[in-house]
Amino acid sequence: MLSARFGHFLDAPLGFIAARIPFSPNVLSVIGFIITVTAAFVIPHSLLLGGVCIMIGGIFDMLDGMVARTTGRASKFGAFLDSVLDRYSDAFLFLSIAWYLAAHGDHAGSFLSIGTLVGAFLISYARARAEGLGETCHTGIMERPERIILLIISTLTGWLVPVLWIMLILTHVTVAQRVYYVWKRMHRQ
């Protein structure tokens, strides 16, 4: 939803900064991934510090695409690598939150986190499968930027369970939106 509305609105105002970054987009993707994995290992010990790490990792996740687009170094492999690392990042973060909640005796919250992870994976799978059928599929209310923002908010505030309820519902609504969108497109053909 945010990607569709705002797209690459920071490319123009921050393009001059992106052009000066000496690292390739793929290196930035890997750095962001390492920071996010670090966040996953920090979360069970400190939600607040874990949230800060997620925020820093998110900045690198935004920068890699910006550098690729503004410097003309975008590549199919870079997009593929970024997507794979994003899926691993999602897994580490949601499993870490599940671990944190289970360790604090909130097993229902732990299942919410795992259910949200399943929804996040299905969102990505639905898009990839649609693209395999020749359809673009960027529809839905809860894409990765929204999930990352909500994860940052939940870890910084400690409101994990209420935010996980929202994410659980909206990730699976997004999957349904994508299925319906592809069905509608295929039905017209």
Backbone angles phi, psi at 89, to 5 degrees: -60, -45
How far is residue 92 CA from its own chain's centroid?
A: 11
Known catalytic membership, residue 82? no
Tokens of 31: 């750095």
Mention every residue, 6+ apart, whose C-beta is less than 8 A from residue 121: 87, 90, 91
Mention every residue, 6+ apart, whose C-beta is less than 8 A from residue 42: 49, 50, 53
Task: With CA atoms as reference, report the closest residue to 121 among 147, 98, 139.
Answer: 147
Distance CA 106, CA 109 (A): 5
Catalytic residue among 11, 86, 90, 106: 86
How far is residue 3 CA from its own chain's centroid?
A: 11
Distance CA 77, CA 104 (A): 41
List active site positions.
Answer: 86
